[in-house]
Amino acid sequence: MEEEEETFKIGPIVQQSILRDLITKHAWDKTPLGASSTWSQTTKDLVYSILSTDIHTCLFLGPEYVLVYNDKYADMLKSKHPAALGVPFRDVWTEVWPIFKPVYESIWS
């Protein structure tokens, strides 16, 4: 089996985890966020941060609110994980999107 290439480099300071592995090998260029090499340092730092905590943590990034999360949050996602990684909020949480849509839209207005 061929080893997948890392698309997002995470330094050794972040401990090994399932999500660390998934995030480093994810095809980010096929998501609304684009290739991780184009991400701002702030975005990368936020991803490092959520991977370094032991509490349920996620990010909704960009105007599409693309989901990036840690191992604890994956537990909460249940059957939505791992397909939810790199997917817009509205497509992951369809059952609550009508409630959150106006809140998120007000942030960008």
CA distances from 88 to 2, 47, 77, 94 (A): 29, 16, 14, 10
Q: What is the per-residue pLDDT across 2-27, written as a single tens digit (0 to 9) for each?
A: 444 556 666 555 567 889 889 989 99
What is the secondary structure of 52-90 as a DSSP string?
Answer: T-SS--EEEETTTTEEEE-HHHHHHHGGGTTTTTT-BHH
Q: What is the pLDDT of residue 2?
A: 43
pLDDT score for 12: 55
Q: Lowest mean pLDDT of 1-5, 23-27, 41-45, 85-89, name the range.
A: 1-5
| 3-class DSSP state of 99 | helix
Whole-number average pLDDT of the chain: 88
- Nearest CA to 2 out of 20, 29, 34, 25 is that of 25
Task: State yes or no: pLDDT of 83 exceeds 80.
Answer: yes
> What pTM was computed for the model?
0.85
